[in-house]
Structure 1
Amino acid sequence: MPVYWDSLTISDLAFNLGVEEEVVKGELTDIGIPFKSSVTRVEPAVARRVRASLRQKGVIAAADLSDLRRPGNRTSDSADSARIAFGQALRTLRKKEGVSLRSVAQQARYSPSSISAAETGASLPKWDLVERFVRLCNGDIEHFRKLYQEVLLAEESRRRPSASSSGFVSIQVPAQYEALISIFQECVPANVLDAVGSMWGAMRESEYRTCLVLTRWAVEVVCVDKGINGDSAPSAGLAFLNGRKLINDDLMRWGKSILQLTNKVAHTNYATTYSDAESAIRFTVALLSQVYLIGDQIESFKKSRDNS
């Protein structure tokens, strides 16, 4: 059901749109509408113009506004829920620090509408925005990195035809890997396939930076599957796998070089290339091969030998 507005205060308009008052004030300033405070009343035609502008910028969704009374109230799938929860975590962090949205926007060098879109979950921001936001609000970068990776995985899962399918089902796999993938689907856990499949999906969409970031997630889920503490750093996880002789020294060194690159991507403006993402994909294929095809087969042989 559409929302029919009478004249609203700026505060009420912001509430109905699910954004900060500063975002509405910014829009009013941009279109030349004067105001004195949050209780200044806005005519319906102006309110509709503000709404249209915010929709065009992706700050609010184009859905019926009656579903946007409060951020996060929309009926949504898991990807929407993950994105909205991530936005709420950002907003909670900023509120806890007592920093205004406009102040964060100015210091992070992003527009207030971009920050608001991130906080309301209308869209998933670039990692660069998230990292600047969290640092400005004295948040835990690694905590938010993991939350961000979870949203990326949820977004990728939504693009697949079946939520129960493994990550490779809907992804165009390079011909040289087709035989391996069919084997992986028989012996690699679904959550591991999902993580690596998401990397492939990012690669296919030319999201090379995302592909690199997801490498850390892929390493983590393999390590957790093999018994390491989930809070351990991925580089420590590779050492753990090496210590159990599930991967050899060369693969461990290769993996650590990939992880160093992911850190560079996450903390700088490094221009990620196709070659970088391809190297990450090749590494994860080698990782799955050594851990689940070679390592598990050797473990199985040892057990059968000990029992004979």
Structure 2
Amino acid sequence: MFGKKKDNGALPGSNRVPVTSNEVMQQLAIDYMKDRKWRRIFKFAVLGLIIIYFISVAKMASKEAGFAGASAPHTALVELNGVIGIGGGIAADQANQSIRKAFEARNSKGVVLRINSPGGSPVQSDEINSEISRLKQLYPSKPVHVVVSDVCASGGYYIAAAADNIYANPSSIVGSIGVRMDSFGFVDAMQKLGVERRSLTAGENKSILDPFLPTKPSQEAHAREMLGVVHQEFINVVKDGRGDRLTDNPDLFSGLFWSGRQAKDLGLIDDFGGLNHVAANVIGEDRIVDYTYRPDFFEQFSKDLGVSIATTLGALFTSSMTLE
């Protein structure tokens, strides 16, 4: 009378599409394979990071062993490349660590700083210069020389002035003994766009050199005076380091830069020569051991990420004073 009801897997009164047991098993297998796939990817990723970590540790250990194993007399090398600053290519902490190791090495007969830098932070430059001067007094028997690569300008030259002698290529760029402070002015653009600047400060000069506000003559004069003080510090360091080797030229401290050949005539460098020449013919040891501090993969990655973000924001909203 009622007929035989066909069991299709659907619940009474339900609108769900019937699902067979085979389909259920197939879906469970797919889900399992997906989970296993992602678990496998995760495992490989973790394994890769572990491998990179141990490679970095091994490289550092190998380098430390290389320092300790430099049993033969040699020339100690420290490379200083890039912009000078905490977030740049040359930071005082790392540079000074390398320079100290170079001086402290039992069998290093002299230290060569090979500099390739357009300048940067006056504070970081001064800290490196001061450390070189301190180590020279601590190890008077070990000469320290600078070899200029492509550029040794401004903050780079600030560091070089501490060396016993400076060598360069005739085509190197040397000098730029000056100080600068950079910012932007968006006042006219804001007026055209109808943008209103709202800035609350405690202290009438707290917003000095704000790129979104008109420049006040008194504030600009204060900034120029401060730049003049830092510039004089730079001049004093160069005069102390180079002494009577400098010529009496009114443009010497004007911020101009020169070729290596011109720099030699001005007394900014002592002679021409590269790393191998200085090691073999000046220090007298052609065996070279590199003591330059280099961050491992993880340290470099995190630093680059932080620097890129900070530099982008800082360039837009702050004024910075540099030896460039």
| TM-score category, normalised to shorter length | under 0.3
User: Relative contact order, CA 8 A, sep 6+: which one is greater?
Assistant: 2
Larger-gyration structure (1/2): 2
**TM-score, length basis structure 2:** 0.22
**TM-score, length basis structure 1:** 0.23
Task: Name whichever structure is richer in strand by fraction.
Answer: 2
